[in-house]
Amino acid sequence: MKIIIAEHAGFCFGVKRAVETAEKILKESGSENLYSFGPLVHNSQVVEKFNKEGLNVVEDIDSISTGKVIVRSHGIPESLQRLIEEKKIELIDCTCPFVKSVHNKVSNYYKEGYQIVIIGDKDHPEVIGINGWCNNAAVIINSEEEAKCLPHYDKICVVSQTTNTFNKFNNIANIIKNKGNEVKIFNTICNATQKRQSACEELAKKVDAMIVIGGYHSSNTNKLVEVSKRHCSNTYHIEVAKELPLQELSKFNTIGITAGASTPDWIIKEVVDTMNNINNDEMLDAIEKSFTRINRGDIVKGKVIYVTDNEIMVNINYKSDGIVTKDELSSDPDVNPKDLFKEGDDIEVYVVKLDDGEGNVVLSYKRMETIRGWEKLEEAFNNKTVVECKVLDNIKGGLSVLVYGIKGFIPASQVSIKYVDDLSKYKNMKLKAKIIDFDKDKNRVVLSSKEVEKEEIEKKKEELWNSLKIGDVIEGTVVRLADFGAFVDIGGIDGLIHISDLSWFRVNSPSEIVNVGDIVKVQILDFDKEKNKVSLGLKQTLPKPWDVFVQNNKVGDVVTGKVVSLLDFGAFVRLKEGVEGLVHVSQISTEHVKKPSDKLKVGDIVTVKIMDINEEDNRISLSMKAIEEENSKKEEVKIVNEDMNVSIADFMEKDK
């Protein structure tokens, strides 16, 4: 095995300077009241080492009042620097000179009226620090999509997080350059970062595998991982030597090693020494011992290496990899392996055979799923929990379903609360159900989705009861009519609109106002959860007919209406607004009327004149007689005019 270490791996100038400064201060003045604002570097091993030596990490400057504070290479906002100075705390500024120059550039251009745009991660301490030197007014962009959404500005100054990749910065900057009348673009990616990434890229192209050493939360280290993976699929990100996957690495002939800017030399050396020992007999023996010991019938854990339409290959930490064919993947005949797993997924499998004749271990996900499935089903049955099942087909008497990889049965009577006449529509659907009968020895699992429906309805009812408030206006659906009113479903509870609350005027039947299926807005008048009763009002959501009538009509207007009742003293007529007025018996006709029924019957449409509106008592006096009299006068005028026309004609004839 050949091991190649990339150029420019490990501590950059800024990090090295910060670490050496901390070591010097600890050596000269001890650890009393010595702090670093945030972890000194993005490397947990280095931070832990300094912590043991007495360098305390603080995230809030208010938590200290005396002592010395080391500002890490990422830098801090201007306001925080001033606060430290005001508190008379000694500030040891280890901000990377390259980062410091970005601070100055941002500060100067911001004062000249430029909109500052930072290309980087808004949560990274370096970006937070840069933003603090333009009064936190920068726009921070970390993708091309975000750049495209950037509004147009007059003047823009663009800088970058120093650990960005050049390709990312260049692509985003090319979009931003068209977003302003004057755009200044500064590539502030650290030279050391660029060199480290370039060296990593060149090495990744040449080797069989790459090892990237550095903190899992380190931005520059993750960029190296990203660069490596573009050219070498066998890339491993580790923090320390003990995380090396020795078994996998032993398969490769050439291995490249690089390290992030926060990785100290001693960690890199430890990794290299470990790798150099792989070829030793002792190390080979250790690798051999690291293999998992497996037997037929075992359930083992592994990682998916690749997936095709017919099989998946799995690394089970054995001397050979395992294969799961499509038949051994699932009891669902329509399953596609690519829908279940992807490269890198963790998986648990059942060992069917140690050698398929070609050196591969035969594995089964389906059999493992069956074993685990019965365990899960038994637990769900005992705890009465809800499970999700896929409908395979409709069979005699119900549905065949798959739950936790095991076939079960839902009787037709347990499919739904409502009667279902065609079960075929459920094929391939996913249903939530409860296990109502379970016998592992007889391979029997009977489920009910109806029970889940019931519980969900009851839950919704309970939520609805808790949300009801008298006076609220809600929406519902008319589900049933009775002589005394209409029942409305308001979301799982049926409320009653009494016939007297259907309309502002009297109705003989609810069907005069609503029909089954109508969606109506109703007001909650009263409710009693214990008696399961809700009183609703429809008319309460509508304007009062009297108010509408008074607004639209005045005394003297001629209107039409319908005769709704006849009494000895007159007839009541309902006008279009829904209000009723009285036509007194003396106002029915110019002729003498002994009783209203002599001239009218219920249901007649009549034209009447408004004679009086009594707003205090809500009474309306109407007259049909007045209409007749007015029509009679018009007729007399017409006759007189006609007679006059005839007389004039005769006179003119005689004059001839």
> Per residue in 618-650, is it b (16+ CB within 10 Å) or e — as a string?
eebbbbbbbbbeeeeeeeeeeeeeeeeeeeeee
Kindly state the greatest CA–CA separation across the chain: 153
DSSP H stretches of helix in 205-336: 219-231, 246-249, 265-276, 281-290
What is the DSSP code (8-state) at residue 360?
P
Which residues lie closer than 8 Å to 132 by C-beta, 6 or more apart? 76, 77, 78, 79, 80
Q: How far is the C-alpha of 43 from the C-alpha of 15, rounded, in Å?
A: 11
DSSP H stretches of helix in 30-116: 44-53, 78-86, 97-111
Q: How far is the C-alpha of 14 from the C-alpha of 73, rounded, in Å?
A: 6
Task: Out of 78, 126, 328, 369, pick the active-site residue.
Answer: 126
Distances (CA, A) of 508 to 48, 224, 483, 502, 512: 86, 83, 8, 11, 8
181 close to 133: Cβ distance less than 8 angstroms: no
Tell me the pairing of strands 494-498 and 485-489: antiparallel
For the question of residue 455 being annotated catalytic, the response is: no
Q: Write down the residue that tokens 């140690």 correspond to.
A: 354
530 phi, psi to nearest 5 deg: -65, -40
Question: For the range 81-84, what are the long-range contacts, defined as Cβ-Cβ under 8 Å and sequence gap of 24 or more?
Answer: none
State whether residue 184 is helix, strand or coil.
strand
Phi-psi sector, 85: left (phi>0), alpha (psi -120 to 50), beta: alpha
Give me the amino acid identity at 215: G
Tell me the pairing of strands 139-141 and 115-119: parallel
Q: How far is the C-alpha of 8 from the C-alpha of 394, rounded, in Å?
A: 66
Active site residues per annotation: 126
